[in-house]
Amino acid sequence: MQTRISFLLTGALALVLMSPHAQAQCPAVPLSTIAGTWAFSTDGFTAPVFRFLGSGGRFVASVGVDRAGNPLGVLTITQTTSINGSITRLETDAGRFLINDDCTGGTLIFNTSSRPVQLDFFLVNPTEMVLVGSNNGDIVGGSARLVTGLTCSANPLAAIAGTWVFSLEGFDLSRGFGVFPELEAAGRMVANGNALTVTQTAGVYGGNVRQEVDAGRVSVTDDCTGGSMSFAIGARTFQLDYFFANPNRIVLVGTSGGDIVIGEARRFGSF
């Protein structure tokens, strides 16, 4: 009987530990749940006027105080955005954020190219969140990762050196609105100094490009938080800003030609 009771108690404890309610308690200051720097990307459509939207960048979440001395969630954002082909690069903005009572998610509030944006977020774990638009009728989704492990050597290009596996998706608005200008691409890129060697397969409106090899260029910011790159997909040159989430992962966002493109790249061999 004692063995059975012990077994039942052990099983009950395991169920409690696996229960969604058995999460870590909120910190003393709940807003500190997401304190830190996050790399994010979003894409979708604006409303009520139908326009394509893509954005990528970094936001720093910190805890301040309001005029009454109460904790206040503060955002500092650096982002590149494209709304219907109108591109704003490395825009900086201030915003705010809220945390749900159970600290499992909350809301981000800031501007994208002078357009108010509100995104609800849901934490996957302490370093990952999913995002979804929650105002203006926008149909927008995305994700963010806590920025960790970044260092910067005397040669910033060392941060991007090596082989990366990437994927991109979005829209090529150079074709106009008479067609639905979808774009998907994936491949490998090798960064050596400022040079990029890209091998990729792409699905673009009107045809596919298989195992194409192209030469491109890459740069890194002085603080090693990101940079820019350019290479061709078929006969079209793409330029992208990128932002490090960690030394082995970057988020990408298009910055030229009216492209509305987002994606990510991971260092080959990383987990």
Q: What is the set of domains in the chain, with CATH numbers?
A: 30-146 (2.40.128), 156-267 (2.40.128.120)
**Which two tokens mark 118?**
């509100």
Q: Using CA atoms, how far apart are residues 123 and 266, in angstroms rounded to an integer?
A: 21
CA distances 164 to 13, 75, 122, 231, Å, are: 43, 30, 28, 14
Residues 6+ apart with CB under 8 A from 18: none
Amino acid at 101: D
Does the pTM surpass 0.85? The reply is yes
Residues 6+ apart with CB under 8 A from 232: 212, 214, 216, 238
Work out the number of other CB atoms within 10 angstroms of the CB of residue 9: 10
The pLDDT score that the predictor gives to residue 180 is 55
Q: Using CA atoms, how far apart are residues 99 and 79, in angstroms rounded to an integer?
A: 22
Q: For residue 72, give the 3-state DSSP assignment.
A: strand
**CA nearest neighbour of 173 among 232, 53, 252, 259:** 259
Tens digit of pLDDT per residue, the chain (271 long)?
444 434 444 444 444 344 444 455 899 999 999 999 999 999 998 877 788 889 999 999 999 999 999 999 999 999 999 888 789 999 999 999 999 999 999 999 998 877 889 999 999 999 999 999 998 888 999 999 999 999 999 999 999 999 999 999 988 776 655 455 678 999 999 999 999 999 999 987 667 889 999 999 999 999 999 999 999 887 788 899 999 999 999 999 999 877 789 999 999 999 9
